[in-house]
Copies of this chain bind each other. A is one copy, B any other.
């Protein structure tokens, strides 16, 4: 049975609350980034250009093999553009795997795989497999991808 004076109790409780809040925040960050990455595929296949763009910061970069998009506006344009619209109009699944997320304060990195599946003669065809390296920053509007 622990005896604490009033002040001792306060500081003990406050310290525990602070520790719990920090642990909770870390989990929330990790889950939020996981959710953000999991939202990319359905949004990009659904042609939701603004929502896809909102995953990135205004000057966020999307560098994907032979393509390079240097801002949120460029990413929105990519989704609205004819090649992507043709791809999704035919039926596509940007199927991303579960991300391995590492949060460090207001920054985070994550790695995941993806496959691109398209409809070909009414059958699903695996046309691309890749690895994604994500960098995130905490903003006033939540976590956003910078690269």
Q: Specify which chain B residues have a CB less than 8 angstroms from the CB of A111 in the assembled complex.
A: 39, 42
Contact between B13 and A131 (Cβ–Cβ < 8 Å)? no
Contact between A127 and B124 (Cβ–Cβ < 8 Å)? yes
With A13-B13, A97-B95, A113-B93 known as contacts, the answer to whether A24 contacts B34 (CB < 8 A) is no
Stoichiometry, copies per complex? 3
Mark each residue of chain A from 84 to 114: 1 if its CB lies under 8 Å from any CB of chain B, else 0. 0000000001011111110000000001110
Of A15-23, A63-71, A74-82, A139-147, the one with at least 4 CB within 8 A of chain B: A15-23
With A10-B9, A93-B113 known as contacts, the answer to whether A101 contacts B42 (CB < 8 A) is no
A-side interface residues, number (CB < 8 Å): 45
Q: Specify which chain B residues have a CB less than 8 angstroms from the CB of A9 in the assembled complex.
A: 10
Contact between A127 and B131 (Cβ–Cβ < 8 Å)? no
Q: Specify which chain B residues have a CB less than 8 angstroms from the CB of A124 in the assembled complex.
A: 115, 126-129
